[in-house]
């Protein structure tokens, strides 16, 4: 297999759909071997079958909030493809609620998945990455919500700001090891999460799907949703050999919505 990531072992969390699946497809084209991690078996199996079972492996039951589940999944990944050399932290969720209706249970759930989950997976995989050194990569999928603010998603914004901060701190700690750590911060992206949000807006407000979609595209100066493949292209660049001097960055993929990271 040829390509910039030929035979590199990549672990992608939240790999069953949306941005995670797009990243898996993109890195597979670069020759990577992929451990596709997530909670639900069926979508992971579909992506693995698409990419080829000789080059990819689905790891279901991979709950980023559960260190024991992560350890089991990593053991399975090691057995299939050996040590992980590139980690893509993509798993997350984005429930919305006004702040005064955001209970402690919702707050803790979002931070547990979107921030502590990133911490948990990095802790588990870091020994592999440090052993590999110069060509090892961590790419955290954050959000423009980690660079700015949005109403009605205070927990999500707090968690993604935390991911960006963690990225920057860890980049400095690991700089001399050769392991790079970066965040990719998509704007509103054409994924199942957005589709569900549009359905909810339609159901709650009676607006048309087109009017609901406009609530998301208005944030992007290009007046459109970001495509998952555009996020995946950025991840592929950061994962490749030409990005060895890029670390501690939070790169917005958002059509100009956020002009400084």
What are the residue numbers of the active site? Answer: 156
End-to-end alpha carbon distance in the chain: 35
Q: Are 118 and 163 in contact (CB under 8 A)?
A: yes
Euclidean distance between CA atoms 159 and 138, whole angstroms: 18
Cross-strand partners of 59: 37
Cross-strand partners of 35: 11, 57
Euclidean distance between CA atoms 68 and 90, whole angstroms: 19
Residue carrying structure tokens 């459109």: 224
Euclidean distance between CA atoms 234 and 211, whole angstroms: 30
């Amino acid at each position: 297999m040829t390509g910039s990531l030929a035979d590199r072992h990549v672990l992608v969390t939240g790999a069953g759909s949306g941005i995670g699946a797009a990243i898996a497809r993109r890195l597979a084209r670069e020759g990577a071997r992929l451990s596709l991690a997530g909670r639900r078996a069926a979508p992971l199996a579909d992506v693995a079958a698409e990419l080829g079972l000789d080059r990819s492996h689905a790891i279901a039951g991979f709950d980023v909030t559960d260190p024991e589940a992560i350890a089991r999944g990593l053991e399975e990944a090691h057995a299939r493809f050996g040590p992980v050399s590139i980690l893509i932290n993509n798993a997350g969720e984005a429930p919305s609620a006004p702040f005064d209706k955001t209970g402690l249970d919702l707050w803790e759930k979002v931070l547990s998945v979107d921030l502590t989950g990133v911490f948990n997976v990095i802790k588990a995989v870091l020994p592999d990455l440090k052993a590999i050194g110069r060509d090892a990569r961590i790419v955290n999928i954050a959000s423009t919500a980690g660079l700015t603010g949005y109403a009605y998603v205070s927990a999500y914004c707090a968690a993604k700001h935390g991911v960006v901060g963690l990225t920057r701190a860890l980049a400095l700690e690991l700089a001399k090891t050769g392991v790079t750590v970066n965040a990719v911060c998509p704007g509103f992206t054409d994924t199942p999460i957005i589709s569900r949000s549009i359905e909810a807006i339609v159901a709650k407000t009676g607006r048309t799907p087109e009017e609901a979609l406009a609530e998301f595209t208005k944030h992007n100066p290009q007046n459109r949703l970001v495509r998952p493949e555009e996020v995946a292209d950025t991840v592929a660049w950061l994962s490749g050999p030409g990005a060895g001097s890029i670390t501690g960055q939070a790169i917005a993929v958002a059509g100009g919505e956020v002009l400084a990271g």
